[in-house]
Chain A
Amino acid sequence: MPLPDALDSGKGLLVSGVLNPEALGALSPGQWDVLIRQARLSRLLGRLAMRFNECGLLASVPVGPRQHLEWAIARVNTQTEELRWELSCIEEALAGLDVPVILLKGAAYHVADLAFARGRLFGDIDIMVAPESLPRVEAALMLKGWANSHHDAYDQRYYREWMHELPPMQHIRRGTTLDVHHSILPPTARLKTRPGLLMDAAVTIEGCFFKVLAPEDRVLHSATHLFFSEGEMAGGLRDLLDLDGMVRGFSGGEDWQRLLRRAAETGLERPLFMALHYLDHLVGTPVPGDVLDQVRHHYPAGLAGAVLDWGMQVSLAPSDTLDRGVLQRLSEWLLIVRGHWQKMPLHLLMMHLGRKALVRQS
């Protein structure tokens, strides 16, 4: 496995630590200091810790950083138990409806038992159902204690008319949050897809009530989520490393061709190219050259492309601190503007932002 960049740069440390901890060798206390902090800020500490544990390297880590890795493993174990319980509660609420319920992202990777998801820390559970079963699903969840967290009439309309999900639902006793989707992109977004295609291809997992997206659709969804949602990239590197794990699971040229065909069918070639481009550039993921060639023309050309590329490179690189410099803040701002631009047509966006600026939340 090729190691990107010099090991003394922060980026090289964190990516190598997660992908190939054996190659790290002995680190100085100062390097450990950078690695642990960057992993925590990039939400990769759990994954880093599980990798060290799997490789039998934990015992060789100096005691200071080792205890952070061990604490992260404890946090992962607790999350796993809580997730199992939460999923059983969702199943209990929805089992009687006889509609397919698809898990997305973190929870899906967990039930599909994907290697890269071991130690992946995440917050909310995301599910997707067909638009026509949305009212019944929402009602069934409410009967079991999930309540709408946004009571403002405008917020309700914002989600229900323009977004690809219901307003987030929160369980009144456990306080856990559930996002119920009916698509992977807002209907208002510039990028269009057909969620029905993804739902029809979703696969079952033995012994599990929930379905998950097909392997190539998981790649497309993760890429779309990373590059075509709000533009907030705090967990960007973590999501990029999810994508790395998914495509490393591909067994050969046929899997890649299926992914390309699927991207064309679903209209998700642009997110796919961006994902493959940054996997190739920033992570060193083995992406076949002919595959990169086939999707390259989907990247914006000229100045717009160069600015976007700069913003993405800055935002996807691990950082020592959440304290942003001027350039980082500029790139974040650019990506958020781009995210909103992608999300809604201009007239809707102006109305939405105008309202958010003028009407203060009580």
Chain B
Amino acid sequence: MSVRGPNSATALRRLMTEYKQLTSGGAPDGMFTTGPISESDFFTWEALICGPKETPFEGGVFVARMTFPPDYPLSPFKMKFDPPLFHPNIYPDGTVCISILHTPGDDPTMYEQASERWSPVQSVEKVILSVISMLAEPNLESGANIDCCKLYRDNKQEYERRVRESIKQQLGL
């Protein structure tokens, strides 16, 4: 295994358990698949997420990379779409900004106090499901891509067109 100090054994065990559970149970409705990018690094995962139906993201398949801290699940992981998605709650570099990936003390936008926060009872599966519903319903109060927030608010049709356009490009259509 990669060098992460002697103390990440618990994190590793937890990640293996989550992976086992995900592969045996399968994702609900086949909305996503996820797992470590290689057997030598259990602390970096990749997810393939299907764009939710009846949203402009429908038809797309999006790749996100998740990086886990050595003290997972005490601290949350980070999630980044690569290539980045055009979405109000995704930074232009692709990093996902969602309350469930923030600890209660860490509130960059100050709008998330009432929402679900990271705690060790969360999991990769729960986070990805939250991200999928975030794709369908952006949260404009805690925007990460300001231009996208504005466009979504002022001209939703154009926002949806741009999202569909980017998916077509991605699929090479």
Real complex partners, A and B? no
